[in-house]
Amino acid sequence: MFKQLVKYFLVSCLTVPLNLGTVWFSVEFLQFHYRLAVVFGFIISVTVAFLFNRKWTFASKSKEKAKQYFKYFFVAASGMFLNVILITILVEVFDLWYLLSQFILGP
First CA to last CA distance, the chain: 25
Residue 75, classified by CB atoms within 10 Å of its CB into exposed (0-12), middle (13-18) or buried (19+), is exposed
H helices of 53-89, in order, are 65-88
Assess contact for 4 and 58: CB atoms under 8 A. yes
Assess contact for 79 and 8: CB atoms under 8 A. no
Per-residue pLDDT of the chain (107 residues; tens, 9 = 90+): 788 888 889 988 999 999 999 999 999 999 999 999 999 999 999 999 999 988 887 877 888 888 888 898 888 888 899 999 999 999 999 999 999 999 999 86
Type of residue found at 60: S
pLDDT at 107: 67
